[in-house]
Structure 1
Amino acid sequence: MRGRQLRRAAICLLAVVAAVPVTACASGREVAEKPMAAPQEGRRTDPDVERQAAEKAALAAYSGYLAASRTASVRSDPRAPELSRFLADPLLTRVRLSIHEAKEHGAMRTGTLKSDPTVTAVSLDAIPATVDIQDCLDTSAYRLIYAKDKRVVPGSGGGRHLSTATATRYPDGRWLINSGSTHRDQPC
């Protein structure tokens, strides 16, 4: 009977954690923010320079998102202020929910997450401006464990799989990751 209950809890926990495998950092401001409009027409800039700056800022936001989510997951802190520093809704809410549910089941993430992101599209003329990112996440050494006894949660094994994210430029000029998906059916 106890084995069946543990299996059910592990399956529920795995389903929650599979939805959002990583978390991010934040500034502590938890204000609903709206994406930024396209640059004003009167402003003249070199499109290549603007594109490179957008790519760099989006990749920095993505890297911050991964680092912040790892930190929040290790601490089992879904309200970690660093999450909102790099994330915006709806992804921010999904990450917080994932961490909260893992905590409720007595689990936490530990280990190393390897990432090698690339920019796949830049849309600076869009309203709001966006940058699409693709990554091959290696979660082989990034485990979901029970906090109490450090046992690995059954069925939570990692691997290498495709992950996608979108960074959006907000009115204050920050690039935040506001959507993302893990494609566990697409190994890389």
Structure 2
Amino acid sequence: MVGLRVLTCGFAAAALSVAGCSATGTTGTTPSGRQATTSNPAPGSPSTASPADLARKQASAAYVGMWRDVAEAAKTSDWRSPILSRHATGDALSVISRSMYADHRNGLVAKGAPKTYPKAISADPSAGPTTVMISDCGDSTNWLKYRKDTGELADDTPGGRRAITAEVKKAAGGWKVARFAVEAVGSC
């Protein structure tokens, strides 16, 4: 099956943390009694976010997008689906396509979707990141393989929670997952 249980590429990661964002505004009255409105960005908002914080947020979105695209294409095991390259490139795209092609040849499709819980653990270089490392404990419990012709469950081994590490690169057109490693069920 294409999913958290099959797709792997090896590499290592370093640790940092993720920052969120929000915005706040205030309204008051001027001495003349007129209404005055000011907008003050909250810490971590896009206007005050560091380049590393913004990169972490965008890379995490690309990572989640990759798994959403994979789950969508896996419904028919379409290894040529153009959506696969929206958030994946290089080794990651190659592994996804090859795994999906194998499922296609074996008459398998996937139903459901993985759950992801990404954390950006590093952004390098910090002044203008081009690489972000993601750590995840993805859950494939409700994302299983079925036989295309009969609709029967093809693998009675349930999915589960697996440690995933991904390298997300800044590319023309945005951030894309370049490589990822998926560990065994129960690894997180």
Compute the TM-score of the two structures, normalised by the length of structure 1.
0.71
Other structure's SS at 1:90 match: helix
Q: What is the distance in 1 between the residues matched to 2:153 and 2:124?
A: 41
1:111 lines up with 2:112 in the alignment = yes
Does the 8 A contact of 2:4 with 2:114 survive in 1? no
Q: Deviations over 1:53-88 (max 9, x none)?
A: 101110111011011000110121111111111111
Does the 8 A contact of 2:79 with 2:101 survive in 1? yes
Q: What is the distance in 2 between the residues matched to 1:97 and 1:157?
A: 22
Compute the TM-score of the two structures, normalised by the length of structure 2.
0.71
Distance 1:90 1:126, change over 3 A: farther
Aligned residue in 2 for 1:64: 65
**One-letter amino acid matched to 1:174:** G
Max Rg structure: 2
Report the CA distance between 1:112 and its aligned residue: 2.9
**One-letter amino acid matched to 2:104:** K
Does the 8 A contact of 1:110 with 1:144 survive in 2? yes
Aligned residue in 1 for 2:184: 184
Q: What is the distance in 2 between the residues matched to 1:165 and 1:113?
A: 15
Q: Deviations over 1:113-169 (max 9, x none)?
A: 111111111112599821000111111111011111122223542011111111011
Higher helix share: 1
Other structure's SS at 1:133 match: strand
Q: What is the distance in 2 between the residues matched to 1:133 and 1:126?
A: 18
Identity %: 25
Q: How many residue pairs end up in the alignment? A: 150
Report the CA distance between 1:177 and its aligned residue: 0.3
Aligned residue in 2 for 1:150: 151
Aligned residue in 2 for 1:96: 97
**One-letter amino acid matched to 1:112:** A
Q: Deviations over 1:4-38 (max 9, x none)?
A: xxxxxxxxx79x984318xxxxxxxxxxxxxxxxx
1:169 lines up with 2:156 in the alignment = no
Aligned residue in 2 for 1:159: 160
Aligned residue in 2 for 1:26: none
Report the CA distance between 1:91 and its aligned residue: 1.0
Aligned residue in 2 for 1:9: none
Q: What is the distance in 2 between the residues matched to 1:162 and 1:119?
A: 14
Higher strand share: 2
Does the 8 A contact of 1:113 with 1:142 survive in 2? yes
Q: What is the distance in 1 between the residues matched to 2:48 and 2:131?
A: 15
Indicate the RMSD between aligned Cα atoms, in angstroms: 2.7
